[in-house]
Amino acid sequence: MPNEQSPIARQNWEPLPAEHLPRPTYFPAGLAMGIAFLFWGLITSLVTFVVGLALFIASLAGWIAEIRYERKRH
């Protein structure tokens, strides 16, 4: 019985189709931090809330803009 690494066992495999992956970005992390600051600001101070809101809006806008740019390129 051929083992999994031998060419005989992989003879009928099909290669995966080429798939375009988006480039890595920091926007999801910024969005998560903005949400955390938003909720933290609800229980602490208005300044923290406003910083979280600004970070949330900036990260969301950046992420959407990057997605739209990627779709136009491909």
Q: Rounded to an integer, what is the distance from CA 20 to the centroid of its chain?
A: 14
Instruction: Please indicate whether residue 69 or residue 16 has the higher confidence score (pLDDT).
Output: 69
Q: What is the pTM of this model?
A: 0.70
Tokens of 43: 């229980």
Q: How many domains does the chain have?
A: 1
The domain containing residue 59 runs over which residues?
27-73
pLDDT in tens, 42-65: 999 999 999 999 999 999 999 999
**Percent of the chain having pLDDT more than 90?**
57
Nearest CA to 26 out of 54, 1, 72, 60 is that of 60
Is residue 47 in some structural domain? yes
**Assigned domain for 51 exists:** yes
| pLDDT reading at 13 higher than 90 | no
